[in-house]
Structure 1
Amino acid sequence: MNGTKKSILTALFFAIFIFCFPSSFDAENSDRITGSMSKTEYTQKYQELNDLQNETWNQTYNFKTDTNVKQVASWEKFKEAYENNNVSKIIMTGDITAPAAQHLQRVESIEIDGGDHTLKMLQGTLNVEGLVSMAQFTKKFSDTPLFHLHDIEVINGADGAAEGANYWSFINGYSGL
């Protein structure tokens, strides 16, 4: 078979395949998250599943996130809420920028709902490294230590980039636990 006939047969095969199985090439019908999916598209498609997973997680670990909720819109209020081990949940109501190289500490479980805002912590970290043994964990809000972060864009690299692993770990924990 010469090259021209082979090319025509290959093209014909793909045309028939696409006609018979159009959903295989239709990104709209895909159950995958794609790089071109917008936040609105993601929310419409997955919000119900995310809510169910969050509820299941909270029930499984007896995580009582609504015990003491703080709404914050400034770095000072975010820092105050994060470092207060009596706060169970932080809801960001605006974009927040920290001074460079901030390192916050806490021991108890926390949920941070970013509210689709940005947390900019250049060279900063949210630490739970103060919890060096389970004996220190008081189970105020959950049966096991939990850190739940969602609906947030984090900018943390030394150069201000919002992409992964550019110099700093954003969340640190104690390695001996």
Structure 2
Amino acid sequence: MITSCFVFIDYEIKAGKGEKLLPKLVCVVTGKGPLRSYYQSLIKAKNFVFVEFVTLWLSAEEYPVLLASADLGVSLHFSSSGLDLPMKVVDMFSCGLPVCALAYSCLEELVHHNENGLVFKDSQELSQQLQMLFEVFPKQTTKLDQMREKLKSFQQTTWDQTWVCHAKQTFLSYHRS
């Protein structure tokens, strides 16, 4: 279970103690779901110093601009069926943005751990990944740069190419039976 507040409380403590050279983070949370105001009040009550949260609803034109200007995306999407992929991660990858994504059964079709992103199982693992990626940021961004480089092939592959490579044969075999 992901306790998202733990992730940032842990980051806040480590950054405040100076144990690691961690920068201040600006976390942009997009969307206007039914729990938006609940999470806004929860965040406000924490009085973070090293982590700032901004909640936004963006137009279709603004959203890719935001993603392209970010350093890292985080996906907390979990598939109850275990069969659907997080389209937000596809959006992020299309903008060249590496991700940390919550693990579930078919996620590896999209997120290749340590290549185009990182996969985590719980809030403690996500916290460790954030600290590793942002320690001495922006002076060193080696891991983020490596993941961005891997995303270039994703960005150049079309939907049609992916269909032919991964799905067409499966659908044809069902059609023939």
TM-score (norm 2): 0.27
TM-score (norm 1): 0.27
Which structure dedicates a bigger proportion of its chain to helix?
2
Which structure dedicates a bigger proportion of its chain to strand?
1
